Structure 1
Amino acid sequence: MKRGAVVILAILGVSSALSPSTYLTPGDKERLKLVLDPAWSLSDLAQVLYASAGYQHLGQQIPDSQGVCKFVKSSAGDGANVETLFLASSAGKALGCPITATAASKQAVGEAIREGASPQELFHAVTAATNLGMDVDTAKVLRATQMALKKDDSVLSLGYAFHVGAQLKGEVSSIFERIEDAIVQADEVDGRMLQFEGGLSITALVLSGAYKLAETSNKAPPIKPEQAVKFANYLMSRKSVQVGKGVYYLLEAVSMFTTNRFHVPVAITLASNVAVSAEAPSIQVRVTDLMGRSLGPLKVTADSATRESDEVVIISKEVLTPLTDSEGVFELDVMSRQPERGFYQLVVSAGASDSRLVGHTAAQLTFKVLTAINIENVEFGTADADQSTAPSLQKVQYPTTLSEPVVADQHQRVLLRFLVRDTASGRPTEVHQAFVKITHKVSKREIIFVAETDSNDVYKFDMDVSNSVKEFAGVSGVYTVSVIIGDAAISNPVMWDIGELSLSFPEGGVGTPAQDYMYKARPEIKHLFRTPDPRPSSLVSTTFTVLCILPLLLLFAMWAKLGVNISNFPISFTAVMFHVGLGGIMGLFCLFWLQMDMFTTLRYLFMIGIVTFFCGNSMLSSIATKRKEQEVKMVYGPYYNKSYRFSQQQN
């Protein structure tokens, strides 16, 4: 299990340290651009803003920029509300076609900046005013923002407040002090990522607003370097976002993390193949910001390279060589240390004079060293099942094939022995996969066995023919024997046909081989359902029905003979509904027997049962009261009315 996990990490080239493990690659940028492209149909102003700002961050040329600019300006005409003015002015700013404010627009924006407005409304109004070139009353905005945060100080509201404060001139420390309140509400994921509840949009909004406000205030934000790296890791985990709004917020935050004056997360990733070998002896490391841009002159050092199987260190404090033709890429020759085959963990640090860089030390990368193997001392043949004679084995030289087939019957065992040698170290080695495949030449049916090693690292395959009838379906004939060698850390996996094997199973003779379906359509599988049991004849079913009804008829007959006191039936609504409910329950049971399923029956039974229960309780209470009155009347006789009423009053 552990080895399998290492293989996956090696294939993906994943960095397991706190340093960002990826960045926006050219492929990522192209995919994000495709997500934004539908906005150019010019049917949604918000999507146009997302696409315009996104293209600006990606450095892409906007198609038909004049037509887009005309659409944006037409959306900001007289009668447009503040949100529309915000979208249009922000899109115009990204497009490079500023919107001219009309008198009506200025009045609408000015009226929106008021006490009682929400943080989002203030954000829209202040941003629209800034984009339209209007003067903003800082004191008025601060009062309105403080009042809004008193009503709603959620993380989202704080994010809007940060963006509002970043656009004001003057003292905004009252908003800057709330950055720490927001950051402490971030949730940590797997010890490597930080995010706010609500996902990408809220996280990006708060981060970009906090850093913009910090630059406006000329103060470092209360965000630790480790926290900045964890936020960057979260943003990179969401780079597969598929909606335009998400792309806009992602690119906004990533661009902020590459241009701000305080924290610039560094992505240290593999630039070469995850595997090194004699043909490709060097490992290449790319050091960039989150947008994939170079960080300038750097000194990149391999702190260590450790083999994961036994923790042997093969490299320590080795400086990587920068590539002249690839900016931001550094190279380290690994094979010159003559490493053994396997997986290694490389710890890399990048040193620079830029104090903004974070996450650039002790980044962990996984790579693997590939070596070639050779198959030696191969012996293939048979031996008696009772071991009465010595085995008859033929030597085979890899990669040749035996000229004559090996013959074996039910009294013999098939033997195969071989040694796998690592050509780099010259020592015998074990591999992850060592199989012996036996394929029927006519039907192409394959039977695969596992070859096991002994104490001398020699692989052995031993098959008793008489005990293998089930695996071969008793089909005698000629089979091809192949050796399959595979490993994640070898450069020349092997699939070698050693020779042919003629098998005769205990039944004797050649069995009928299965049809050859290799690379052909399989026959259609038709499922046969169980035939339902035959229904009884009408005479039997009628007789059974009559027998079921007889107890009910007997009940009615006994009532008629004994006499039923119908006069005692209480004539009231609850009594009638109680008996109707009982009848309904009986009828429901009949329907369940005939056609209804259990869940439908229980649903109706619950509704009928509640009515029947309350009506029955009320009916029984009235009967008990009436019976008590009759008993008291019998005791008091003519004094019933007076004495009984007096006792009731006393009670």
Structure 2
Amino acid sequence: MKHLNIKIDANHVLSIINKIKAKDTSPMTLSFALQILSQLGLTKSNISGHVSNIDNVLEHASEISDNRLFYEKGLYTTSFVAKSIVDFLTAYGEVPKSVENKLVKLFNYLYTRRQTANVRASAYLVAAFKSLTDSSLLLPVVIESSIKSNENLGFSIPPILSIDQTHPILNLRLKHIWTDTFFKPSEFEIKAHGVYAIKRTTGDRILISSSDLGTFKQDDKNNAFQLTLNLDAKTTAGYYELDVTATPGSKKTNGHQKLLGIASVQIPLYMITEAKVAQATVTIMNTAREQHVADISLTPEKTYKASTASGAITLEIGQQISIDLNIVDSNRISLAAHQVFIQLTHQKTQQAITYTCTETITDKKPEKKSYKLLLDPDMSAAEFDYLSGIYKVDLIVGDSSIKAPILWHMFDLDLRFVGEAGDETKRRIAQATDISRQESSSPAGSRRAFTPNAIIGSGPTTAKPEIDHVFRAPEKRAPPFLALTFTILCLLPLLGLIIAWSVIGFNISNFKFSISNIIFHAGLISICYLYFVYWCRLDMFTTLKYLSILGLPTFLAGHRVLRAQVISKQQQTVSSTQSLNVKK
């Protein structure tokens, strides 16, 4: 009606909307009302009484992860509600404070669902974002890193950005959500309000910096914003959040637009660091005599060579070895790594066995953490399959907060076991095959004990038994002689028909070329051919469908043919009777 220049009675429409709202307050009904009100061209005072409808609609939405809102009826409903709210707010000319945060969460959900196969939902999803970008009231902005292209999660859900502990520099870019074009830094001003440490278990935020970190530097050449975080030197690796606020700059056109998505945002930060071994000590003890044998101090990143001929540390029967490690970050602060393994690899067979180091706290201070492995070869002989020889001892350290994992060949260890090696180990020794080292943890990795258990490999393994697939035995069939006899009996009527035709004749002279005769014989031949095709490839239901199509005209035509033959015979009988009467 609007495009046809037909005048609309706004008061009458408002009365109808009020009557509908009195009966139905579902999200879709209220959204339709908001959409209609946005198209009437009413003044702000006329539609101000319907602003509360937005809060009523948003109250029905469900929340995900404290940053997304959606409706359980699906993406179509969520998109339609978002479009209606944006259109109404644009017509109203103001965004209430209670609506802004929820509107951002609503579009966060739509942004994560922008790849969908539902045509109707896709159309309204595009329409919602188009209304948002065309709005003269709102300006949607997305934050992303300028160093690495990450997947944007939404307006107020920027991706987790990694920063270096030694050089905590943060680089950001602002992007338009619809056109994917980057805004120039001169168009905006971004201020940092503080860095908060996040406790992953409770989610508590603790301020660890000044509440005012200043303004991001503007780099118009690269369309980037840069900020150097002045953090304490004792700041450890982990999860943090940076509070930022953006405002339009002096060169930004349409400065009256309200920024949506970057008014007050918490940017997730993950600080990474360089890890290194600060101290490593090897202790050898005699368990039988309870004597301390030796202490060996290792130099990090260098392989220790013993005074033996092979350069390996010799461990006699009845002795056990303890390895103590202290891992620190770039600030020489103890680092709690997620994965600390000691791997022993036999030099000849290359079969490996890996143990998990136990985390310990020294001096009852959480910041003084160390890792320890106590290995008793006599207790673990079965895990090594009693394979004596020289083992290469490697340290493997990995964690998401570490720039590069640690792989350090610490020393060689000469082990002696009492017992006979298994058959598989003997075969490997004889063939000297190269067995691939298993360097990734298995589900058994949760086992941690002071007397370690192997979590990766448990000595040599034998081949699993071959799987023989047993298929169902075929059902019993009739003997070939019986099947051939049945086929011949089925063909006997056809053979009898051919013999009868050869003796009696086809009687083609009496065939009348009428329409019913042609249809009847053609239908009969088609039915016979259909039976042949059914025998070869068709199923019963398909055959019955075609038979119903062919059977009806064949039946009607056959009935007409038989009726014509009866009438013809009656006429012949009458004519013969009349001829006899004339002769008499």
State the TM bucket, normalised to the shorter chain: 0.5 to 0.7
Q: Which residue of 2 aligns with 1:507?
A: 419
Superposed counterparts of 1:449-468, under 5 Å: 449-453=356-360, 455=362, 457-468=369-380
Aligned pair 1:307/2:216, yes or no?
no
Higher relative contact order (CA 8 A, sep 6+): 1
Q: What's 1:399 paired with?
A: 301
**Is 1:135 paired with 2:5?**
yes
8 A contact 1:447–1:471 mirrored in 2: no
User: Partner letter of residue 206 of structure 1?
Assistant: V
CA contact (8 A) 2:396 2:406 kept: yes
Conserved in 1, the CA contact under 8 Å of 2:342 and 2:355?
A: yes
Partner of 2:116: helix, strand, or coil?
coil
Contact 1:321 1:330 in 2 (8 A): yes
- Cα shift at 1:179: 6.0
CA 1:272/1:384 → structure 2, altered by over 3 Å: closer, same or farther?
same
Aligned to 1:436: 342
Q: Cα deviations across residues 221-242 of structure 1 (Å, max 9, x unaligned)?
A: 8972223222222222322323
Structure 1 counterpart of 2:79: 204
* Structure 1 position 316 matched with structure 2 position 211: yes
**Aligned partners of 1:247, 1:458: CA distance in 2, in Å?**
54
Q: CA 1:315–1:492 in structure 2 vs 1: closer, same or farther (change >3 Å)?
A: farther
Deviations 1:583-623 (A, max 9, x none): xxxxxxxxxxxxxxxxxxxxxxxxxxxxxxxxxxxxxxxxx
1:297 to 180, 187, 198: 187
- Distance in 2 of aligned mates of 1:406 and 1:510: 25
**Which residue does the alignment assign to 1:102?**
none
Deviation string 1:127-172 (CA, Å, 9 cap, x unpaired) is xx73xxx333423996599389488775434444544554456689
Amino acid at match of 1:518: S
Alignment match, 2:226: 331
Q: What's the RMSD between the two structures over aligned residues?
A: 4.1
Give the structure 1 partner of residue 557 of structure 2.
none
Q: Which residue of 1 aligns with 2:63?
A: 189
Amino acid at match of 1:346: L
Partner of 2:317: 410
Pair 152,409 (structure 1): closer, same or farther in 2 beyond 3 Å: same
Quote the Cα distance in structure 1 between the aligned partners of 2:423 and 2:294.
Answer: 26
Question: Aligned ranges for residues 247-266 of structure 1 at < 5 Å?
Answer: 247-266=122-141
**Which residue in 1 is equivalent to 2:243?**
347
Give the conservation status (yes or no) of the 8 Å contact 1:476–1:505: yes
Instruction: State the Cα distance separating 1:482 from its structure 2 match.
Output: 0.7
Which segments of 5 or more consecutive residues in structure 2 lack a partner in the other structure? 149-160, 200-204, 249-254, 306-310, 364-368, 429-433, 439-460, 470-584
- State the shift of 1:481 in Å: 0.8
1:446 equivalent in structure 2: 353
Q: Which deviations, in whole Å up to 9, do the C-alpha atoms of 1:453-493 show, x marking residues without a partner?
A: 35164533221111112432333333221111223323232
Deviations 1:516-535 (A, max 9, x none): 65389995654589xxxxxx
What is the Cα deviation at residue 410 of structure 1?
Answer: 3.2
Structure 1 pair 525/184, CA: closer, same or farther in 2 (3 Å)? farther
1:286 maps to which of 164, 173, 194: 173
| d(CA) in 2 for partners of 1:446, 1:299 | 56
CA drift at 1:339:
5.3
After superposition, the Cα gap between the structure-2 partners of 1:381 and 1:268, relative to the gap in structure 1 and judged at 3 Å, is same
* CA displacement, residues 59-115 of structure 1 (integer Å, 9 cap, x when unaligned): xxxxxxxxxxxxxxxxxxxxxxxxxxxxxxxxxxxxxxxxxxxxxxxxxxxxxxxxx
CA distance in 1, matches of 2:267, 2:228: 15
Alignment TM-score, normalising by the size of structure 2: 0.58
Aligned partners of 1:431 and 1:486 also within 8 Å: yes
What residue in structure 1 maps to residue 101 of structure 2? 226
CA deviation after TM superposition for structure 1 residue 354, in Å: 4.0
Is 2:358 aligned against 1:486?
A: no
Distance in 2 of aligned mates of 1:230 and 1:427: 39
**Counterpart-to-counterpart distance in 2, 1:362 and 1:269:** 15
Q: Is the 8 A contact 2:360 2:371 kept in 1?
A: yes
Q: Which residue does the alignment assign to 1:357?
A: 259
Contact in 2 for aligned 1:269/1:285 (Cα 8 Å) = yes
Spell out, residue by residue over 1:333-383, the C-alpha distance to the aligned partner (whole angstroms, 9 max, x if none): 137754533122211122335451244344212223333233244334633
Structure 1 SS opposite 2:196: strand
| Residue number in structure 1 paired with 2:328 | 421
Instruction: Look up the SS of the partner of 1:467 in the other structure.
Output: coil
Distance 1:334 1:214 in 2: 38
Q: Deviation per CA, 1:3-45: give whole Å up to 9, x if none.
A: xxxxxxxxxxxxxxxxxxxxxxxxxxxxxxxxxxxxxxxxxxx
Cα distance change of structure 1 residues 213 and 361 upon mapping to structure 2, 3 Å threshold: closer
- When residues 259 and 382 of structure 1 are mapped into structure 2, their CA distance, relative to the original with a 3 A threshold, is same
Contact 1:267 1:289 in 2 (8 A): yes
Q: TM-score, normalised by structure 1?
A: 0.52
1:496 to 408, 413, 418: 408
Distance 1:482 1:219 in 2: 65
Point out the structure with the larger strand share. Answer: 2
* Contact 1:378-1:395 within 8 A present in 2 as well: yes
Mapped partners of 1:420, 1:376: distance in 2: 6
| CA distance, structure 1, for counterparts of residue 399 and residue 98 of structure 2 | 46
2:152 paired residue number: none
Q: Name the counterpart of 2:495.
A: none
Q: CA deviation at 1:494?
A: 0.5
Aligned to 1:518: 436
Q: Give me the whole-angstrom Cα distance separating, in 2, the residues matched to 1:399 and 1:299.
A: 47
Structure 1 residue 174 displacement after superposition: 8.1
Q: Distance in 2 between matches of 1:174 and 1:219?
A: 14
- State the shift of 1:413 in Å: 0.5
Number of positions where the alignment pairs a residue of Structure 1 with one of Structure 2: 398
Q: Write the mapping of 1:16-31 to structure 2, written as runs, cut at 5 A.
A: none
CA contact (8 A) 1:283 1:332 kept: yes
Bigger drift between 514-523 and 461-470 goes to 514-523
Q: Secondary structure at the match of 1:469?
A: coil
CA distance in 2, matches of 1:509, 1:523: 17
What is the CA–CA distance in structure 2 between the aligned matches of 1:406 and 1:466, rounded to whole Å?
16
Tell me what 1:65 maps to. Answer: none
CA separation in 2, counterparts of 1:381 and 1:393? 5
The separation in 1 between residues aligned to 2:45 and 2:25, in whole angstroms, is 16
Structure 1 residues 218 and 489: alpha-carbon distance in aligned structure 2, compared to 1, 3 A threshold? closer
Change (3 A) 1:338 1:330: farther
Per the alignment, in what secondary structure is the counterpart of residue 226 of structure 2? strand
Structure 1 pair 389–262 and aligned structure 2 pair: CA distance change class (3 A): same
CA pair 323-206 structure 1, distance change in 2 beyond 3 A? same
Aligned to 1:69: none
Identity %: 19
The amino acid across from 1:302 in the alignment is A
Contact 1:155–1:182 (Cα < 8 Å) also in 2: no
Gaps of 5+ in 1: 1-125, 530-651
